Amino acid sequence: MRMPLAWATPTSCRPAASCCASNLPSHSSAICSATSAGTSRPPIITIAARSVHMRLYSMHKREFVMVFLGFFTCFGLGIVIGLTGPPITSTSSLTAQQILANTSLAHSPTVLGKGPFAMKSPLTTTYSQQMWLIAKLVTDNNDDERYDKSFQVSVSIDGINEQHKPQSVLGSGVAHNRTRHLVCVRNDCEEFTVMHLGFLDYAHYIITVRFYGLESFHQKYNIRSITFYFKTYSPDFTQIEIWFRCIFLLFTFIVICWYAHTLRKYPIYDWSIEQRWLSVLLPLLLLYDNPFFPLIFLMNSWLPGMLDAILQATFLCALLMFWLCIYHGLRQNERSFVRFYLVKVIVVLPIWLCAIVLATWEKCNELRDPTYSHFVDTKNYNGFKMFFYIACCMYVLYLVLLLLRAYTELRSMPYFDMRLKFLTLLMLFVLSISITVTTCRFGFGILEDNFVASLNTTYRSSAQFMCFYGLLNFYLYTMAYVYSPDGRFAQAELAVTKDNPAISMIDDSDEDVVYGSDEESRRPLTSVGGGAGKNDYDSD
């Protein structure tokens, strides 16, 4: 006769020698010592938190191999599709000589130092998303020196409407003189962003650029040529992005419905911490894939783009929060907001605020003035960047601390070592790929826009996009499968397993055990204060 959960003596503590030989935490050792001392009644322990049986517990090695093989296959397939896709950006160029040809300023010796340079943009559509105008200067200087020249740029912008008439976007009367820095080594100067349009209302734009403060620089070093680059998102890439966002959106919705269906029979207080967090992360992943993304092409507004950046930042910070909570929550069942979640919110919240502020700050300023750049607003930007780096360092240190403590206390316990190994292996892979993609100058929202604004950022395919989006989607799909309840144990009496490290060694092996009923598992282990003649637990 098998004893129900609430009355069962931990089998790992039956022989006294086995308890001493096992590497248990202090709170588990207390249970073993009380049993091995030959006391007349079983030890009094805290009722363990109960959790729904996860598929992870009953998976064999070959099943783990198949799960990881499926994850890497889907991820690799996404990269292959990206490699065969179009480049992310499209760039066209105009030289100052081409702009000034057939004008009265074509032979002026000072025109390259001040302008004006009036140019027509290439054809753009709503699929072009955004447009950057970047300038690059070349001088006749041959001295082996590095010099930095500060000057001002004034820009006026007119859009060409359907009647082929100019409509003022940024008139010369309201244009700001924005400071730019020209950094040169020998005769080569770094490019600088002249202006950035966050959304495109017209098919063509007439842009007039004037420089102030470069006359003396031109006299000293002689500006040989100026090249202007129009950079937009490739319309072909935008179509790929729309399609695959919709595909990921559909798959995520299906996974959410399936995951909710598998857990529908179990009360939420019986869910493990991984299952609870996945019920939060999957809807956030749905928002990360952004069902509102097509509004960018239907509305000529900055709002859809800002919303996309906010949704992406929110999901990524929720993922950071998930890792902190899991590594700590596996060791602790009492998870009150103040003692458990508050510290983690304090650690993650600055990172989220940095992403949100940067997105809204730049979008709103560029709406008023397309020539605005937070890189030029050095006083605020450098302080903001320092705050972000400190927040990231705090997060990494806290995560490493929780990870080390979790492995120190739980690595020898059945179930918990499996949960730790699976979580850590996937987390390290996701972090390494994410860092690699960011190093390749691609990322979410505002980071991606800043990378695109550089001429050094060239994309030969859509691989970076497919890698970043496919990685996070397939990562959550894999976790949803592994952490979902095992259908083989979904019987009339719902299967629940121990979720308390103090008595995780309730069995001699990692194999699953179907425990007692919901009512029995809530009874105390012993009757405290019972008479000597009373025996409140069953025996064979």
Give the tens place of pLDDT for each residue, 443-501: 555 555 565 666 556 567 788 888 889 999 999 999 999 999 876 655 534 445 545 55
What integer pLDDT is reported at residue 348 of this predicted model?
A: 94
User: Using CA atoms, how far apart are residues 517 and 125, in angstroms rounded to an integer?
Assistant: 63
CA distances from 526 to 5, 46, 184 (A): 12, 11, 81
User: Using CA atoms, how far apart are residues 407 and 2, in angstroms rounded to an integer?
Assistant: 32
With beta carbons less than 8 A apart as the criterion, state whether 274 and 54 touch. Answer: yes
3-class SS of residue 531 = coil
Give the tens place of pLDDT for each residue, 1-29: 333 333 333 333 333 333 333 333 333 33
What integer pLDDT is reported at residue 45 of this predicted model?
A: 33
Which helix (H) or strand (E) segment holds residue 385: the answer is helix 378-410
- Which domains does the chain show, CATH number per domain? 5-54+489-514 (no CATH), 55-87+236-488 (1.20.1070.10), 90-233 (2.60.120)
Burial letters for 483-502: b for 16+ Cβ neighbours within 10 Å, e otherwise? bbbbeebeeeebbbbbbbbb
Residue scoring higher pLDDT (418 or 478): 478
With beta carbons less than 8 A apart as the criterion, state whether 415 and 510 touch. Answer: yes
Give the tens place of pLDDT for each residue, 225-275: 999 999 999 999 999 999 999 999 999 999 999 999 998 888 888 888 889
Residue scoring higher pLDDT (443 or 209): 209
User: Using CA atoms, how far apart are residues 136 and 133, in angstroms rounded to an integer?
Assistant: 10
CA distances from 522 to 4, 26, 49, 386, 538 (A): 11, 24, 10, 51, 16
Residue scoring higher pLDDT (364 or 483): 483
What integer pLDDT is reported at residue 305 of this predicted model?
A: 80
